[in-house]
Structure 1
Amino acid sequence: MPTPRSPNLLSLYPHITARDRALLHLLDDHQVLTTDQIHRLFFRARRTCQIRLGELADLGLLDRFRFARAGGGSQPWHWTLGHQGYRFQAAAHRRPEPTLRATRQAVHRLSANPHLTHLLTVNEFFVRLTTHTHHHPGTHLDRWWSEALTTRQFRTITADGHGLWRVGDTTVGFFLEADTGTEPLTRVIAKLDRYAQLTRRGGPRYPVLFWLGSQRREEHLHRALRDRHDDVPVATATHPGDPAEAVWLTAGTTVRVPLAGLPSSHGQPVADNPNFDDDGTFVC
């Protein structure tokens, strides 16, 4: 029996808005977002967001999954690309046409990924920064890079993400380490060795942001940082709150500063490939 053909992708184009394309691009780069995250990024009304996500799922552009919540009920919907969304993004980036089997496997692997909570935490950091720009003119998230893209471009490091945050005429680059408390602090601090190597190679001297789950974890990390004497700027904050605001505590200080107030030296814009086409920029 012949395999059924996928619907003509071109027939979906009249139904895809500019906002939809931005969402597809974001999910292509960052894999998964919850309904709440998408609402804060793109919509004013939550109900409008829910209706549109359902329509995109009916078109095959999005797929979704959710899990049972401890104590009853369900967790929020987690949204990712559907088969047609994978096809659309493959065409946009001149990648090979994905098969239905391949896209289904990708969704299944993502849903069963033991690091899914960590991935959502990383994305939440950048969602909050983007949401901040909606209410504060003169601020902008110029770059939102995933772990995969950051690693590919800087090679030496394996940050959870990289961004460029702009307030007025000030632009601060940063590397994000989203901490969920599952690793011992000795292993967390050892990650700084790779950032020191990057700086010595002439790469950017961006602050490493440790986004932590509790104030106690933050206090323990600062105690452990006292013995380090390298030239890597480090700042910490806890998950509640707005990461654009004065929540960042640098090593050896007691006063919290906003993200735009952290020290940042750009060095080479992209350490290992200065000819890279910066398609990691996200405009919302």
Structure 2
Amino acid sequence: MPALPRPSQGPGSRYTARAAATRHRSASPTDISALTRRLTGRDIWLARMLHEHRVLTTHQIARLAYPSPRTAQRRLRTLHLYALVDSFRPLTATGSAPEHYTLGRTGATLLAAHANLDPAALGWRPSATGRIAYSPWLGHDLGVNELLTHLAAHTRTARDTELALWLSERSCARRWGDIIRPDAYAHYREGPVVLPFFLEYDTGSQPLARVEAKLAGYAAFTTADGARPALLIHTRTASRDQAIRRRLANPARDLGLSIATSSADFTTTTPWGPWWSPLSAADSQRTTLTRLATHFTHLRPANAVEPSDADTPLTLPVPPLPPSPEASS
């Protein structure tokens, strides 16, 4: 994509999106039939992930699907050449940001063909990467994806663990948008213990009153037996975490919600660890995701997550990890 002018103010003033200048590719569309022997199951999975989660960095993609960042970079350069993916790199005040990947023109055509749809039905436009690069929610989206990719990558090496389901904000809105709009929904399993949870990723930009107002929707969201998933609230800083805990403690108790909070000051790269504190005056000690599942009673998975006749290949949940490892291309 061509470089975009930097706005004089607002989120876009902090960075300029640019495609990797050294990655030359043909201006004419790639015939997807010519790629049938070149694309692997992992490549198609990546296209689906980018459609589902909008933007992933090189590091996030590498930890999910490749043995090393260098292997990921090599394959991503090839996929960029095919236009399966697009990329941009934010301009940072110091240092260098990793490449950020989005769904490319060929990727959108490929997914549409798999679903027997017109590419326009995906909502993809040539300006899609630019809109994501300058979106005021870019940092929020990357934060959500950073948390969940670390959790998914952990299950690649940790014995008897699994991130069985990971739905994006868009998928959640499609299913439950008339009641709640969480930033993600997931099932994390360790051994026989499963934690179904909604995620609210708080960047500190919303007033506390608005955060509190969301609780009524989560309280209305119940399964047939009156239970519901847990609600995890992740904040940028420990001070914001404490402010949210003070504000939500009484409403959460009155509504019967199972809430735990943490912040980037604690979770770092191990969100499954002992960083989550139940929102309860009786027990506010930090604990792991697995122990949260046993701490909270009456947790149940959300409704409407199983595939149905109304689903299409584009609305089915995307597995958080790619197909079985394949030979590097």
Report the TM-score when normalising by structure 2.
Answer: 0.78
Higher alpha-carbon deviation: 137-146 or 198-207:
198-207
1:157-183 deviation line (CA, Å, top 9, x unaligned): 010010111112222110000011111
Gapped runs of 5+ residues in structure 2? 1-26, 322-329
> Which amino acid in 1 is paired with 2:171?
L
Q: What is the CA-CA distance between 1:223 and the residue it aligns to?
A: 1.2
CA contact (8 A) 1:33 1:79 kept: yes
Q: How far apart in 2 are the matches of 1:46 and 1:271? A: 32
- Matches for 1:253-272 after TM superposition, within 5 Å: 253-262=283-292, 263=296, 265-266=299-300, 269-270=303-304
Higher alpha-carbon deviation: 273-282 or 103-112:
273-282
CA distance 1:271–1:107, change in 2 (3 Å):
closer
Q: What is the CA-CA distance between 1:109 and the residue it aligns to?
A: 1.4
Sequence identity (%)? 32
Query: Is 1:74 aligned to 2:96, yes or no?
Result: yes
Query: Is 1:185 aligned to 2:208, yes or no?
Result: yes
Query: Is 1:22 aligned to 2:45, yes or no?
Result: yes
Higher alpha-carbon deviation: 197-206 or 165-174:
197-206
CA distance 1:5–1:49, change in 2 (3 Å):
closer
Q: How far apart in 2 are the matches of 1:11 and 1:282? A: 26
Total equivalences in the alignment: 279
Match of 2:20 in 1: none
Q: How far apart in 1 are the matches of 2:225 and 2:213? A: 20
Query: Is 1:234 aligned to 2:259, yes or no?
Result: yes
Match of 2:152 in 1: 130
Q: What is the CA-CA distance between 1:266 and the residue it aligns to?
A: 1.9
Q: What is the CA-CA distance between 1:200 and the residue it aligns to?
A: 8.0
Q: What is the CA-CA distance between 1:256 and the residue it aligns to?
A: 1.6
Match of 1:248 in 2: 276
SS in 2 for 1:15: coil
Q: 2:65 aligns with which of 31, 35, 42?
A: 42
Q: How far apart in 2 are the matches of 1:273 and 1:45? A: 33
CA distance 1:186–1:200, change in 2 (3 Å):
farther
Match of 1:216 in 2: 239
> Which amino acid in 1 is paired with 2:238?
Q
Q: 1:282 aligns with which of 319, 325, 328?
A: 319
- Matches for 1:150-189 after TM superposition, within 5 Å: 150-155=172-177, 156-189=179-212
Q: How far apart in 1 are the matches of 2:305 and 2:39? A: 36
Q: How far apart in 2 are the matches of 1:138 and 1:68? A: 40
Match of 1:84 in 2: 106
Q: How far apart in 1 are the matches of 2:81 and 2:197? A: 38
RMSD between superposed Cα atoms in Å: 2.5
> Which amino acid in 2 is paired with 1:91?
A
1:229-257 deviation line (CA, Å, top 9, x unaligned): 11111100112241212211011222222
Q: How far apart in 1 are the matches of 2:170 and 2:42? A: 24
Gapped runs of 5+ residues in structure 1? none
Q: How far apart in 1 are the matches of 2:50 and 2:62? A: 14
Q: What is the CA-CA distance between 1:272 and the residue it aligns to?
A: 11
Q: What is the CA-CA distance between 1:261 and the residue it aligns to?
A: 2.3
Q: What is the CA-CA distance between 1:6 and the residue it aligns to?
A: 2.7
CA contact (8 A) 1:202 1:267 kept: no
CA contact (8 A) 2:278 2:286 kept: yes
CA contact (8 A) 1:202 1:271 kept: no
Q: 2:125 aligns with which of 91, 103, 113?
A: 103
CA distance 1:17–1:204, change in 2 (3 Å):
farther
SS in 2 for 1:14: coil
CA distance 1:215–1:276, change in 2 (3 Å):
farther
